[in-house]
Amino acid sequence: MSGEFLWQAGLVSLVALAVLWRGFRRPVEEDLRRWATRFGPVLDADTRPLITWFLHRGRRLRAAGAAAGLVVTGAPLYVNLIDPARSPDFAGPLSGMAWIIGAALGAAVAEISFVQRSLRAGTAALQRRRWDHYVSRRPVLYVGSVISLALAGAMLGLLAEVGQRTEVLAAAGAALAAGALLVIGLWHIVRRPRLAVEERWRVVDDALRADGANRVVGASAAMASAAASEAVWQILREVAPAAGLLISFMLFTVGLGLWWALSRDVVWRTKVEYAVT
C-alpha cells in the first residue's frame, strides 16, 4: 500500500465527510436572517418553520451530491490503495470534476423533487409566472454561451481529430447535461403550485422560487464552464498549450465564481408587477 495514495485518499475522504457534516447541519438563525435579507420574506412564527425546512432540505441534497462527487473524484486514489501498481490515469474523463457534477446534480434534484403544495386550496393569482421573474437573464445567457462554446469545441475536436476523443465527448455530454439541468430546473420552479395568494406567503413563495432558480442557474453555469474548459483545453493543448491552459482555467474559475455568487451572495426581489384589485 502506497503511503502517498493513503494520504491523498484520506484527505479526499475527510473533505467529503466535512461537506456532509456541514450540509446536514440545521440552518441557524444567522443563516435564516441572511437568506431573508437576500430574498425579502418576513420571518415570523408561521413562515420560519417552512423556510427552515426548505433550506435544510436543499442543503442536505446538495451536500450529498457534492460528497458523492468527491468520492467519485477520489475513486482512482481508493483503487490505488488496493492496487498501487495501477496508474491513476485509468479514471474516465472529467472524473476530477465529479464533485462539481455531483453538487450541481444535488442542486437540481433539490428543486425538481421539491413538491410544493398550496396552503389555501382553491385560490390562485391571475399572474403569469416566468423564469426571469426569479433570476437575472445575464447568468442564463452566460450558461447558454458556454454550452455553445463547449459543443462547438467538441464538434471541432471530433471533426478535426484534435484532442482525446473520450475527453471531447465527455465535455459535450457535460455541456448537454448542464443545459438539461437548467431547462428542467427552471421549468419545474416556475410550474410548481403557489403556496398561497396572501401577500406574506406570496413573498415567501417568490423567495423560495428565486433561491431555487439562482442555485440551479449557478450549478449549471459551473457544470457548463467545466465542460467548456475541458473542450477548449482539448482543442488548444497541442497548438497553443499556454493559451489553452489560461482560457481553460479562466472558464473554470468564472463558472465556480458565478455559482458561488448566485448561491450565496445574490440579492433578488422577484420582478413581477402584481396588479392590485
Partner 1 sequence: MITVAIEAASAVPVFEQLRSQIEVAIRTGALEAGQSLPTIRQLAADLAIAPNTVGRAYKELERSGLIRTARRRGTIVADLHADPILERRARLADAAERYAAEASRIGASLDEAIEALRTRATSTRAGPVSRPVGLSGGNKAASSELLRSLPPALSAQVAISPLL
Interaction between residue 128 and partner 1 (CB under 8 A): yes
Distance between first and last Cα of the chain: 74
Q: Is 194 in the site for partner 1 (CB under 8 A)?
A: yes
The mark string for 246-275 relative to partner 1 (x by CB under 8 A, - otherwise) is: ----------------------------xx
Q: Which of 197, 245, 254, 256 binds partner 1 (CB under 8 A)?
A: 197
Among 62, 133, 202, 209, binds partner 1 (CB under 8 A): 202
| Residue range at the interface with partner 1 (CB under 8 A); choices 21-29, 50-58, 114-122, 211-219 | 114-122
Of 133, 192, 209, 215, the one binding partner 1 (CB under 8 A) is 192
Say how far apart CA 243 and CA 233 lie, in whole Å: 9
Q: Which is nearer to partner 1, 201 or 259 (CB)?
A: 201
Residue 13 or 116 having the CB closest to partner 1: 116
* Spatial CB neighbours of 6, under 8 Å, sequence gap ≥ 6: 81
CB-based contact 66:99 (threshold 8 Å): yes
Residues 6+ apart with CB under 8 A from 206: 39, 40, 133, 134, 270, 272
Reported as half-sphere exposure (CB side, CA atoms, 13 A), residue 257 has a value of 7
3-state class (DSSP) for residue 31: helix
* Among positions 34, 60, 129, 200, the unique one binding partner 1 when judged by CB under 8 A: 129
Cα–Cα dist 227/136, whole Å? 22
Residue 176 interacts with partner 1 (CB under 8 A): yes or no: no
Listed ranges 70-78, 88-96, 185-193, 233-241: which one lies at the site for partner 1 (CB under 8 A):
185-193
CA distance 187 to 179: 12
125 belongs to the binding site for partner 1 (CB under 8 A) = yes
